[in-house]
Chain A
Amino acid sequence: MTCTSKHSRSGFAMMMVLAAVAIAAVLSFALLAGATLQTRTRGNASRSVSAEYLAESGLNLAMYYLQNPNSAPSLNASNYWAGTSSPVTIGNGTVSVTVTRDAAAGNNWTYEITSTATVGSSGDTQMIRTAYARAYVKNEYRVNYTSGFNASATIQPYTVITGDVICNGTFKLSNSTSTVSGAVYAPTIQLGVGATSPSGGRKDIPTAAVGAPTTTDVNKYQTYTSGGVTYNAGTQAAGTLTGSAGVTTLGSSGSNPAGVWYCSGNLTLGDNVKIDGTLVVAGNLTVAGANIIVTPKSNYPGVVVIGNLQVNQTQKSMTVNGICFVGGQLKSSGVFVTLATCSSLTVNGGLLIGGSSPISSSYNPITNVTLNSTMNKAPELSTAGRTPIGIQVLRWGPVVPVPY
């Protein structure tokens, strides 16, 4: 039996149709594949850029929290933000940040920051970018209180403090002549007979606030840097220093532009000593004269005494137009006779006492301490208790090894 011509023509048509459909399918698939690839390329490019900038945002976030630790969601034991505990979602991506203090830098303010950003869902469309930076947090010591004590302190009679006080122990006002016109940041306050409460009341000590530097942390200014140049302090021999009325006893010079004077032992100041600069005494300082005036240069303290500061009675007087730091105790010698003949200590800037017994119970000179916003600046007074004031980016990018 043979096939008819009619049957042959029908099969041919079917093959032609199938061939046409196959060609159309291949073409469609090719077009679709191309379009898909282009879409993915564009998406990858977009996600890549997003990831780059998201990673940079992580660096900026870390630098913000390093400058403003009080704004950070959490701080580690070393009081800085160590990074995200888990990836943070921003927009359509996430970012993980790690902050590490570089102990090898020789200071506590240099950090390595790593920020890894992920944009897109997992799989071959996900983009991951990592950014690196090394940052130095600029910092300074700020005197935010008129008086600061590291231990319980009793303010003796005829002592007037104008401004806030911080005390890391019980703070006591002995009687009606010892007053504080400001707030007292202390765990507890005690009032002696007739004493009135501080006008600003008692407040809790803010986180990380310190009363005063310790003698270990305080800067003795034996060398100091001014205008990028390092200078040595002048040397003042131990013993007694006296002055003449109207004459500067110790001042500044080209080799000592800040007028810093360092005494390695005990020093006694006699009448009319006038210091246009900073006096640093490694031992005890005794005020045994009248009309003593210390006026430091801007951004330097007036007096730094590692030991005790003693004011003798009677009719002795010292004015410090800047910060007065005492590492030991504020004390006096001699008896109070009358107000008219009583010795006096005036501090226009801030009085910081770091010792464990800040004020002697027999201290009796007339004492006035006033916070002065222009005279209380000593950014290098202490290596501890410092406040971040800015960021300097030391490196932007991964660590580049030294070529040799």
Chain B
Amino acid sequence: MIKRVGTILLVLLIFSACKKQEELEILPESNDPVFTLTGSIDNQQMTYLAGNNGMVMRNGVEARNGISYFYSELGNTDRKFRIGLYDGHVAIPDFQATLKSGDTLFLAKKFAEPLALLSKKYLTNAAQIERIDWYVDNAFVGQDEVELLEAGKFNVCGHFTFKNGSQQTICNQMLLGFEQEVDFTIRHFMNEVGSVNLWMDGNLSEISTVEWYNDGQLVSTAKSLTMNVGFSQSIITCKIKTIAGAERVKRILVDGKVSGNYIEDFDILLRETIQTKWDFGVGLEIYQNGSWYSSFEVENYKSFLFISKVEYYGVNSQNKPIYKVTSNIDAKLKNASSGQAITAKLQTVFAYILQD
């Protein structure tokens, strides 16, 4: 009897041990929210946590008036907080901005005064000019007198109609509200036999290379140029590189007929401003109750963004390094249409993706 019972038990034991054993999924460790925003907006406490309540941290870079604007946006469909950082040293290609612990960044504000006045009255040959049609980034913006108020890098084209009926168009890149890096103006003098002298007026100590082109043909690499253009109009292009790597390209129109139908360097149309340039300027935008509030719309000269910690977080899908930036913000924001201003006192951890 005992043998029989023992056999049954043994069979049951073997049977139970031989059942197929499937592997279960190994779950990753839970962690705390990484990207956060806490504090008060208009004295109302709020907490945004990426991963809760549909909140997502999005990162990107967008061109705002031709300038790279690196942003991190934390929010859902109802509420959004966006912190952005303008590129700096924009005249230097591939300049890599880095954030460090202890940095204090200022908040960019819209410029109150024109950054450039596109007006023939500031041109020395205004008497020869019948009309100027101004185009900014291929869009017609006005005739004769146009104020440029926004910061950015613009392709400004002037379609000149001279008194004698001739027409010429010339385009130049204008950098407004940011450091020019290469600050000079091309001057020229045309003698009666079609010989023209061109030179750069400004601080030339940082210039590394200069290239002069006449209607697309390289004609010189000297800092000044003397050439004969005959009795015709020619577009002279000057390409300059500084020791720091900044590049500028300027175009002017010279008139070999010496009839005054030339077009000067557009930089003479720039206006000096006392406002801080937007290089590495910070922008804050908050979307709540169906409206956007922006730090660009309000004076924030007492406001700041203090970076208390920068930590490496990982890489994104393009294998670009991501940094986790902890910061404190004390700023005002304003709704552009209603004029309603709000105050934000925030602590935030946002993602900053280092761009190439």
Are both chains from one complex?
A: no
